[in-house]
A and B are shown apart, each in its own frame.
Chain A
Amino acid sequence: MAFRNEEDKKAYWSENLALLAKLLVVWFIVSFGAGILFVDILNEIQFFGFKLGFWFAQQGSIYVFVALIFVYMAKMNAMDKRYGVDEE
C-alpha cells in the first residue's frame, strides 16, 4: 500500500522528523547534559550509593539509550500503521 495522497506523505516525514528531534533531545540531556555539563551539580545528590552525575555518566545514560531505541521502534511501527504504509 502506498500513501493515500501527497499530504499524507509530507505529514509522515515531518512527524518522523519531530519524533527524531524529541528522542535526540533526551539523548543529549542524559549524556552530554547529566553526564558531562552538569555532572558536578548532580554529584551533590546521592542515588543508591552513587553520586548522581557519575551514575548518569557510567550507567544511567546507557539504560536511557536502550529505552530510546525501543520507543523509536514502537512509535515508528505505530506511525507506519496509521499511515497505512506498514509492510504486513
Chain B
Amino acid sequence: MDVQTLTFIIVGASFALYIAIAIWARAGSTNDFYVAGGGVPPVMNGMATAADWMSAASFISMAGLISFMGYDGAVYLMGWTGGYVLLALCLAPYLRKFGKFTVPDFIGDRYYSQTARTVAVFCAIFVCFTYVAGQMRGVGVVFSRFLEVDIVSGVVIGMVIVFFYTVLGGMKGITYTQVAQYCVMIFAYIVPAVFISMMVTGHILPQTGFGATLADGSGVHMLQKLDNLSVELGFNEYTSGTKSTIDVFFITFALMVGTAGLPHVIVRFFTVPKVHDARKSAGYALAFIAILYTTAPSLAAFARVNMIETINGPEMTGTSYEEAPSWIKNWEQTGLIAFEDKNGDGKMFYSGDERNEMKVDRDIMVLANPEIANLPAWVIALVAAGGVAAALSTSAGLLLVISTSVSHDLLKRNFMPNITDKAELMYARLAAGVAIVIAGYFGINPPGFVAQVVAFAFGLAASSFFPAIIMGIFSKRMNDKGAIAGMISGIAFTAAYIIYFKFINPAANTPDNWWFGISPEGIGTLGMMVNFIVAFLVYKATDEAPEEIQELVESIRYPKGAGEASAH
C-alpha cells in the first residue's frame, strides 16, 4: 500500500477511537464538563496532562528547532520541562487544595477583587487563543501534506473533530481521549527515532545513541561528526550555541515561569480526587513528557546529519537535483523546501555560507524525517497520526479553558450570578463552539506574526499570572492592591518591550539594542521581577490582606480536608 492509503487508514482509525471515547464518556453535569467529576485515576491523568502539555509545537516543531539551533535548542527542552517542576512543586498542590475550577477563580477569591478576576479572565482567554490558533494551523499543515487536501479543508476537518468531542464530552471526555492521544503520539514519535538510532549508531535507545560512535566502524562519535560537519559548512559548532549566556538564561527562565502559569495545564490538577493523587499524577505526567523531550534532541541531531548527507552527498560535493529523493520533491510542493541552483552545476548543496543553495523550513524536520531516512510507509503514516493527535489534544484542552472562562468566570461570576447549572453548561458548550470557529479562522488565515504572538503569550503568563499565584500562596498578607499593581506593571512592561522590538521597530531587534542583552523572548523574566517588586512596594504602602483571606491562605497550605473540586 502507498503512503497515502496508509495515512488514511491510520489517521482514520485514530479518529474513530477518539470519537468513540468521547461518546462513551459523555459529560452529564458542569462538574463532569469542567473537571471530569474529580474521578480520574493518577496514571490516566498523568497521560492526559502530558498530551495536553505537548502541543503540535512540541511534536512537530521542537525537534526541528533544535536541529537548526543545536545547543541553543536547550532553552525549549529545559524551559518547558523545568517549568513543569515549578508548577508541580509550588502551584499545583495548593491550587488543588483551594478547590476551584479555574485560575481566575483563585486570583479573584484570593485577592477578594472582581477587578483582579476580570484581568485574569482576559489574560487566560488571550493566552489560550494564541495557542489554539497555532494548533489549528498544525493540524492543517499535517493534513494538507499527507492527505493531499488543501490547507483550508485540513483545518475544517480538524475543527469538526475537536468541536465534536470538546462540546459533547467536556473534561471527562477530553481526559480519556487524551490518554488515547498520548499513546498514539508517543508511539509515533519513538518508532522513527528508534529506527534511525539503530541505523546510524546501532543503539536501540535514541537517548544513548545520540552520544554513541557511528555504526560504520570509523569510531567517530555522532556528535563529533555533527560538530565537524557544521563547522565545515559554515555553521556554528552544533554542541555550542550562538546566543549569549545571559540571553539563554533569561529565555529559559521566562519559558519555565510562563509554562508554569499556563491555565489549561493548571486546571488538570483539579481533576484528581486527592492532594495525594495530584502529586502522583504530576510525577507521572512529567515522566511521560520526558520520554518525548529526551528523544527530541537525539532526533534533532540524527535528522540533521541525515539531511546534510542526503543533500550534500557522501563526498560533500552536492548531489544531482535530477536524482533528488522523493521527499525533496514532495515538500517542494508545500513551499517548505526550495532549491535555487546558484552555481548552475545542477547539484544541490546545503551550507551556512554563500555556497548554500537550499531553503529548508525547520518545521518539516519531524514530519520529513522518516522519509529522509527511508523508513517504511507505515511509519510515515504513523507520524502523521501522531502530529494530528498532538494538535487535537492540546486544542481540546485550551478550548475547554476558553469555554470555562466565558461561562463560569465571566457569566456566572460577573454578569449572571443566578444562572442554573444546566444553562451554564449550555453557555460553556456555546462558547466552545464559537471559540473553535474563531480558532479555525486563524488557522486558515494565520496572522503573519504567529511566532511573535507566542513569545508574547509566554511573556504575558510569566509576568502576570505566575507572581500573582506564587504570592497568593506563599505570602499570607499580600493584598489586592499589591497584586493588581504587580500584574498590571508586569504585563505593561513586558508587552511594551515585545511590541517595540517585534512590531514597532523590528529593525532594531538586535543584541546591541536589547536591555542587558535580553531578547524579547526572554524579557518575561524581567517583567516577572518588575511584578514582584511593584507588588511588594504597593503592599508595604497599603493595608495587609483581611483576616478571613489570611485564614483562607492558611487553609490551602495543609492537605487535610481537601474535598472534591466543588463549584463553590
State the A residues within 8 Å of B (CB). 1-3, 9, 12-13, 16, 20, 23-24, 27, 31-32, 35-37, 39-40, 43, 47-51, 54-55, 57-59, 61-63, 65-66, 68-70, 72-73, 76-77, 80, 85-88
Contacts and interface: CB of A to CB of B under 8 A. Distances in A.
A49 B71 contact: no
A43 to B, nearest CB: 7
Given A58-B74, A66-B283, A87-B560, 20 more contacts: A1-B560, A27-B82, A27-B86, A31-B82, A31-B252, A32-B252, A36-B245, A37-B245, A40-B240, A43-B239, A49-B212, A49-B213, A57-B77, A61-B78, A68-B89, A73-B280, A85-B558, A85-B559, A85-B560, A87-B276
18 contacts: A1-B560, A13-B558, A36-B74, A39-B245, A40-B240, A43-B240, A48-B211, A49-B223, A50-B211, A51-B223, A58-B66, A62-B77, A65-B85, A68-B89, A73-B283, A85-B558, A85-B560, A87-B274
Contact of B223 (A50, A62, A65, A80): A50
B249 interface: yes
Minimum-distance CB pairs A-B, first 5: A49-B211, A57-B74, A58-B297, A50-B211, A69-B283
Given A32-B249, A69-B89, A62 B211 contact: no
A59 B301 CA distance: 13
B558 A20 contact: no
B294 A20 contact: no
B499 interface: no
A79 B66 CA distance: 41
Interface stretch (B106-114, B285-293, B357-365): B285-293
Contact of A77 (B78, B212, B276): B276
Interface centre among A9, A55, A62, by most chain B C-beta atoms within 10 angstroms, is A62
A82 to B, nearest CB: 12
A65 B74 contact: no
A9 B279 contact: no
A12 B245 CA distance: 39
B297 A35 contact: no
B558 A49 contact: no
Nearest to A24: B89
A16 B473 CA distance: 13
B290 A16 contact: no
B275 A58 contact: no
A68 B245 CA distance: 25
B252 A87 contact: no
Given A73-B279, A87-B559, A27 B223 contact: no
A80 B278 CA distance: 14
A61 B297 contact: no
A58 to B, nearest CB: 4
B290 A63 contact: yes
Interface of B: 66, 71, 73-74, 77-78, 81-82, 84-86, 88-90, 93, 207-208, 210-213, 221-223, 239-240, 245, 248-249, 252-253, 274-276, 279-280, 282-283, 286-287, 290, 293-294, 297, 557-560, 562
A70 B279 CA distance: 8
Nearest to B256: A31
A43 B245 CA distance: 14
Contact of A2 (B89, B90, B211, B560): B560
Contacts of B81: 61-62, 65
Contacts of A72: 88-89, 279, 283
A35 B280 CA distance: 27
B286 A69 contact: yes
B294 to A, nearest CB: 5
Nearest to A32: B249
Contacts of A23: 89
A66 B276 contact: no
Nearest to A49: B211
Nearest to A47: B211
Nearest to B273: A87
B518 to A, nearest CB: 14
Contacts of B223: 49-51, 54
A36 B74 CA distance: 9
Contacts of B562: 87
Interface centre among A37, A54, A76, by most chain B C-beta atoms within 10 angstroms, is A54
Given A49-B212, A59-B207, A85-B559, A66 B290 contact: yes
Contacts of A61: 77-78, 81-82
A69 B85 contact: yes
A63 to B, nearest CB: 7
B282 A65 contact: no
B558 A3 contact: yes
B219 to A, nearest CB: 11
Interface centre among A3, A43, A54, A58, by most chain B C-beta atoms within 10 angstroms, is A58
B373 to A, nearest CB: 21
Nearest to A61: B78
Nearest to B227: A51
A58 B286 contact: no
A71 B120 CA distance: 32
A65 B77 contact: no
Contacts of A57: 71, 74, 77-78
